[in-house]
């Protein structure tokens, strides 16, 4: 029995946890790709969405000095070297690809269908995976010394 948190049939993969832990303070390019397309006309759409997302990251840094833009460009090169085939993307509901400028990359198929997105931020963006997690019941207690009854 797995001790990993369940995510609608998926679980946190050990490589994802290890990558997120090791790179939480490292600028990381994260690409969430929606897969599972059966319509042949849409099978390459993920590449278009990926290029648009990367262009958006570049636009966000367009006014920044070159020393701030270069790590993004290095991460883009690393991400492009880790791109899966169309068949691999569409064999599952989606895919996440993580890349840093230092060369660390991770490409994992996921069992949740993510919204296609590309982000450049400190540490990997795992929010789409967390958002798919089933919500457990919770009790919230607010303690206030002045207003306690």
pLDDT tens readout for residues 33-76: 888 777 777 778 888 999 999 999 999 999 999 999 999 999 99
Q: What is the pLDDT of residues 83-123, one digit of tens each?
A: 888 788 878 788 889 999 999 999 988 777 788 899 999 99
In this structure, are residues 27 and 122 in contact, taking their beta carbons and an 8 Å threshold? Answer: yes
Helix (H, G, I), strand (E, B) or coil at 6: strand
CB-count burial class (<10 Å; 0-12, 13-18, 19+) for 131: exposed
Q: Give the Cα separation of 29 and 27 in Å (integer).
A: 7
Residues pairing with 94 in the sheet: 34, 110
Question: What's the whole-model pTM score?
Answer: 0.76
């Amino acid at each position: 029995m797995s001790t990993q948190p369940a995510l609608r049939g998926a679980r946190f993969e050990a490589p994802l946890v290890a990558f997120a832990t090791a790179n939480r303070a490292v600028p990381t390019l994260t690409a969430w790709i929606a897969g599972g397309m059966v319509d042949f006309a849409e099978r390459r759409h993920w590449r278009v969405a990926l290029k648009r997302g990367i262009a958006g990251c570049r636009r966000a840094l367009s006014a920044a000095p070159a020393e701030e833009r270069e790590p993004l460009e290095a991460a883009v090169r690393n991400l492009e070297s880790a791109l899966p085939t169309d068949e691999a993307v569409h064999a599952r509901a989606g895919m996440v690809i993580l890349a840093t400028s230092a060369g660390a990359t991770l490409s994992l198929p996921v069992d949740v269908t993510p919204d296609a997105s590309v982000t450049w931020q400190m540490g990997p963006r795992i929010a789409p995976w967390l958002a798919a997690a089933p919500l457990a019941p919770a009790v919230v207690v607010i303690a206030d010394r002045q207003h306690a009854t």
